[in-house]
Amino acid sequence: MQRHTRRVLAITASLLALLCMTASAYGKRKPSDDPPFQYLGGTETLPGGCGGRLEILKDSLAFTCASGSVNMPFTAITVMQYRRDLSKQVLRMNIPWKVEPQFGRVKDNQFLTIIYNEQGAVHAVVLKVDPSDMRPYLAEIELRSGKSVQVYRNYDEFD
- Domain CATH for 145: 2.30.29
pLDDT of residue 158: 46
Q: Is residue 138 scored above 50 in pLDDT?
A: yes
The total number of structural domains that make up the chain: 1
For CA atoms 46, 63, 130, 98, the dihedral sign is: negative
Flag whether 1 is in a domain. Answer: no
Domain of 59, in residue numbers: 37-151
pLDDT, one tens digit per residue, over 71-117 is 999 999 999 999 998 999 999 998 999 999 887 777 777 999 999 99
Q: pLDDT confidence of 126, banded at 50, 70, 90? A: very high
Burial of 71 (0-12, 13-18, 19+ CB in 10 A): middle
Q: Is residue 143 scored above 80 in pLDDT?
A: yes
Flag whether 4 is in a domain. Answer: no
Mean pLDDT of 64-68: 95
Q: Is residue 3 scored above 90 in pLDDT?
A: no
Tell which residue, 41, 61, 46, 25, has the closest CA to residue 134: 61
Mean pLDDT of 43-49: 94
pLDDT of residue 153: 75
pLDDT, one tens digit per residue, over 4-45 is 666 655 555 554 554 555 443 444 444 557 899 999 999 999
Q: 40: how many CB neighbours lie within 10 A of its CB? A: 22
pLDDT of residue 156: 46
Distance CA 59, CA 17 (A): 51
Flag whether 73 is in a domain. Answer: yes
Flag whether 125 is in a domain. Answer: yes
